[in-house]
A = this chain, B = another copy of it.
Amino acid sequence: MSFRDEAIAANDAYARSFPRAERTAPPTRRVAVLACMDARLRPEEALGLALGEAHVIRNAGGRATGDAVRSLMLSSAVLGTREAVVIHHTDCGLLGATDEELRSIVSEATGEDASTVDFLAFEDADRTLAADVETIVSDPRLPFTEVTGFIFDVETGALREARSV
């Protein structure tokens, strides 16, 4: 059975116990989270967020890319979120690899040219987190009143505050 088939069966059970309520698109807690795609991280659970309370934007690294900024603009300026949280984490799959190494791995795995891709690899999670928080704080199109950066420990589930503005 493929994952797709199992997911359809699992969703039947999920929908039967889904908490019905009137919910609209603007998040009720007025929070936007930007986090890594890592499988060991559940941003909503780690932050104690209930269904409907926060937007969650995720990509490789939890980086404040142009596409993340597009999403954060829609979240804050259009849908009214006011606090942003950025979560990077320990033992990141990107950590320690260079962009050049990642390009080689992708080319070898697929036989395709990945030489123009910027994978946004990084070496120091705290420094990269501070830079991504700064990208959000310094963009005037993102009207957040508070931006907090956390490092999530994938072994313990604990968040360590690393950068707040």
Contacts and interface: CB of A to CB of B under 8 A. Distances in A.
Interface of A: 2-4, 6-11, 13-15, 18, 20, 23-32, 37-40, 42, 44-49, 51-60, 65-68, 70-71, 73-79, 83, 85, 91-94, 102, 105-106, 109-112, 114, 117-120, 140-143, 146, 148, 153-159, 161, 164
A152 B91 CA distance: 32
A59 B68 CA distance: 7
Q: Copy number of this protein in the oligomer?
A: 2
A68 B11 CA distance: 24
B109 A14 contact: no
Contact of A159 (B7, B114, B120, B164): B7
